Amino acid sequence: MNKLNKLFIINFILIFCLVSCDKNQKNLRGTSINNSIEQKVDSVLNLMNLEEKIGQMVQYSAGWDLTGPASSKSAKEKVDRMKKGLVGSVLNVVSVKEVREAQKLVMENSRLKIPMIFAYDVIHGLKTIFPVPLAESASWDLDIIKKSAAIAAKESAASGLNWTFAPMVDVSRDARWGRIMEGVGEDPYLNSVIGVARIHGFQGDDLSDVNTIAACAKHFAGYGFAESGRDYNTVNIGEYELHNVILPPFKAAAEAGVATFMNSFNDIDGIPATGHEILQRDILKGDWNWKGFVVSDWGSIGEMKSHGYAKDKKHAAEIALNAGSDMDMESYAYESSLEKLLEEGKVSLEDINDAVKRILSLKFQLGLFDDPYKYCDEEKEKNDIYTKEHLAIARDAAKKSIVLLKNENNILPVSKNIKSIALIGPFADNKDQPLGNWRAKGTYNSAVSLLEGVKAKVGANTKVYYEKGIELTIPTVKPGNNQFLHPLEFNTENKEGIAKAVAVAKKSEIVFLAVGEDAYQTGEGRSQTKIGFAGLQNELIEAVYNVNKNIVLVLSTGRPMDISRVNNILPGILITWHLGSESGNGIADVLFGDYNPSGKLPVSFPRNVGQEPLFYNQKNTGRPYNPTHVTYSGYTDSKKSALYPFGFGLSYTAFSYDNLNVDRVETSKDGEIILSVDVKNTGTINGEEVVQLYIRDLVGSLVRPVKELKGFQKISLQAGETKKASFTIDKEVLQFYTINKKWEVESGDFYLFIGGDSSTKLKKKITIL
Ligand code: BGC
């Protein structure tokens, strides 16, 4: 037996032993398991040669569902490297059969048989599609958000996957940015709590549970602040904006134990995030002491060359590793350069070992060393995906995500016995667009359309007329192919359908006008300069309005749109986003009053695109805006305020806020004040209200925002019922990243605001001594 063979056998026995030893302990928690994982990781690391270590830091895409430039490496080359055990993870291999095949390449051919992790962008469901993340965030319902992530995880795990690239926790304030649909919107606090709910949903309490998968907080950091909303663009923010606005959701994710982070394409103040040592090494792995691993974004290591920040790919690999990027997604920079860079002393073995340890640790936590095919169970794949139970929760999520913006003369809800309804618009009978962008394995044309939802709801005597009116679909998008070539072109010629729409509107008691944006108008690379109604939609709306004023706008969108013009004339406006598989049923639940809408905007709706970026929590200026002095910090041709502010949303009932009280008006920096308020349902039907707490720090060592969300409670109130909502005002609520470069509470006066949206004026003043 030659030396190599001997070594191989010894290694195999060692790994086998490590794995079996783990079996008795795998359900234990706490330090002992962490210590034991650490020990196992160290033992495996000791067996690895340099090439194998670098291999663990490589992630390949299988080649479809590409989100970036197509791979320059052939499938054969990728397979060969997998066989040699030189790939740590792959993305876009989905289904038990394919995952098994890929895993076998490693397990049956490589020296050390270190299983790969399988990743996929499961952003809002795998096959059961939930509302797009921005929509779901409008529910302000942490329970349903966690449930939907848990189902997405269960379906993914049943398809062989064990890692999703979600949640996106980029604070995003520019409606032009296409990826605004993928996150929680403009507020750091809301991004934090919803991000954490999603992480808990994906990861559960135990990553080794076969129904959970690893989550990924992305994109670290600043990606949502791309200049003028242009995707992938430069981010120009100062240190305080970074710490007070952008980082808090990431810190919350790290504290919640998110398994991985993804860095981002953009530069911040001249340094590409992928090569940002302060962000990744000093803050994330240093100050926050986070133990997971950082994956690059697609090709973002190589793209540092295009940024003009790295001379070539090798230089890019050097910068990325030194900055703390542990895994290289599709740049092929680590595999081609790290060995050489180490020889030249430009990177350290210590950093390579650290990256590999972090990656191996997740593999142990997932239980892949116990059983590399653990997630490859055909029975689960057959039974756990797209089930009735999952669809029921998708419907619940859909209805809870809807936001009622306008309801003049109580045009909604509509009686199920109404004589006639006209359903008009390009999205009225559309079974695909509700799936939104990033719909993973959602089947083309599989959503419940609005027409189907309405028909299922009304009685036999109700006539339901349908006319599309106009064509809006984006011609360049084909099923299964998420890529398209710009610029978008919409039909502005063919107006024939408008007359037909007018004819049905004329003979109907009410019109549901289903317009807005196509699924592929938002998402990655879908930034737009216009956020109004594309194509012939305005003409359609006007033509219908001329014959029937009883219109409810049912707005499909993945971003805040400019709806000012229709807002002036239409009596009813419902924001129905891209709501997923059960869209039509969820909307019908609200239209006909089976569910009383409770959604609140997670992002401001502007009066026009010129206001973007628009967000409520802006800092004050030396010449604060004042409605009678429009030149101050505003515009001369538009009001400064949002058309509908952050946190806004109506219900079919109404709520009043009374007896706002604090148990004391002064306290120390470490003290607590309890704020309470009586919230009453003053209407005649049951409903839910999101009670929102905002603060304003009146004088700070840095200029402070005019308002900041610091807490909320979603409460159910029966007709006539009053409940007391209480909030604890403490260090967590009052602190910020100050001029001293640390999080601290400063003494002085604060306003505490309570209300049903961010424009509330109901407040109490407190003093921190
Ligand atoms: C996106 C990431 C995504 C990755 C993998 C990139 O283009 O920015 O969010 O996870 O592709 O698909």
Closest CA to 254 of 301, 209, 220, 208: 220
Residue nearest to atom 10 of ligand 1 (CA): 165
| Ligand 1 atom at minimum distance from 92 CA | 12
Please give the Cα distance from 239 to 698 (Å, whole number): 21
Alpha carbon separation from 398 to 128, 201, 390, 605, 664 (Å, rounded): 12, 17, 12, 20, 41
Q: Does residue 121 have its Cβ closer than 6 Å to ligand 1?
A: yes
Measure 103 CA to ligand 1 centroid, in angstroms: 22
Measure 298 CA to ligand 1 centroid, in angstroms: 6
Choosing among 3.40.50.1700, 3.40.50.300, 3.20.20.10, 3.30.1340.10, the CATH entry for 394-611 is 3.40.50.1700
Pocket test for ligand 1, best of 65, 66, 67 (most atoms within 8 A of CB): 67
Sheet with strand 722-729: strands edge to edge:
655-662, 673-681, 722-729
Measure 258 CA to ligand 1 centroid, in angstroms: 17
| Ligand 1 atom at minimum distance from 182 CA | 9
**The domain at 3-381 falls in which architecture?**
Alpha-Beta Barrel (3.20)
Measure 183 CA to ligand 1 centroid, in angstroms: 13
**The domain at 655-768 falls in which architecture?**
Sandwich (2.60)
Catalytic residue annotation = 297
DSSP 5-74: HHHHHHHHHHHHHHHHHHHTTTT--HHHHHHHHHHHHHHHHHH--HHHHHHHTEEEE-SSS-SSSPPSS-
Measure 67 CA to ligand 1 centroid, in angstroms: 6
Verify cis geometry, omega within 30 degrees of 0, for the bond prior to 249.
no
Alpha carbon separation from 433 to 473, 483, 731 (Å, rounded): 9, 16, 44
Neighbours of 221 (CB within 10 A): 29
Measure 89 CA to ligand 1 centroid, in angstroms: 15
Query: Which residues is 693 bridged to in the sheet?
Result: 711, 754
Pocket test for ligand 1, best of 122, 165, 170 (most atoms within 8 A of CB): 165
Please give the Cα distance from 551 to 511 (Å, whole number): 5
Q: Does residue 298 have its Cβ closer than 6 Å to ligand 1?
A: yes
Q: Maximum Cα–Cα distance for the chain, whole Å?
A: 91
Q: Does residue 67 have its Cβ closer than 6 Å to ligand 1?
A: yes
Please give the pLDDT value at position 66: 53
Output the six-digit token pair for 303: 């793209």
Measure 663 CA to ligand 1 centroid, in angstroms: 48
Please give the pLDDT value at position 626: 80
Q: Which residues contact 16 (CB under 8 A, 6 or more apart)?
A: none
| Number of residues written out for the chain | 769
Measure 137 CA to ligand 1 centroid, in angstroms: 21
Q: Does residue 118 have its Cβ closer than 6 Å to ligand 1?
A: no
| Ligand 1 atom at minimum distance from 216 CA | 10
Please give the pLDDT value at position 491: 82
The residues of the chain scoring below 50 in pLDDT are 1-33
| Ligand 1 atom at minimum distance from 218 CA | 9
Pocket test for ligand 1, best of 92, 220, 261, 524 (most atoms within 8 A of CB): 524
| Ligand 1 atom at minimum distance from 265 CA | 8
Q: Does residue 220 have its Cβ closer than 6 Å to ligand 1?
A: no
Q: Does residue 303 have its Cβ closer than 6 Å to ligand 1?
A: no
Pocket test for ligand 1, best of 89, 117, 121, 264 (most atoms within 8 A of CB): 121
Alpha carbon separation from 736 to 67, 156, 196, 241, 247 (Å, rounded): 36, 38, 20, 11, 12
Give the E-state strand segments of 106-209 in sequence order: 117-120, 163-164
Please give the pLDDT value at position 693: 99
| Domain(s) of CATH 3.20.20.300: residues in the chain | 3-381
| Domain(s) of CATH 2.60.40.10: residues in the chain | 655-768
Please give the pLDDT value at position 25: 34
Q: Does residue 133 have its Cβ closer than 6 Å to ligand 1?
A: no
Q: Does residue 297 have its Cβ closer than 6 Å to ligand 1?
A: yes
239-281, pLDDT tens digit by residue?
999 999 999 999 999 999 999 999 999 999 999 999 999 999 9
Residue nearest to atom 4 of ligand 1 (CA): 298
Please give the Cα distance from 701 to 709 (Å, whole number): 20
Output the six-digit token pair for 67: 């989100």
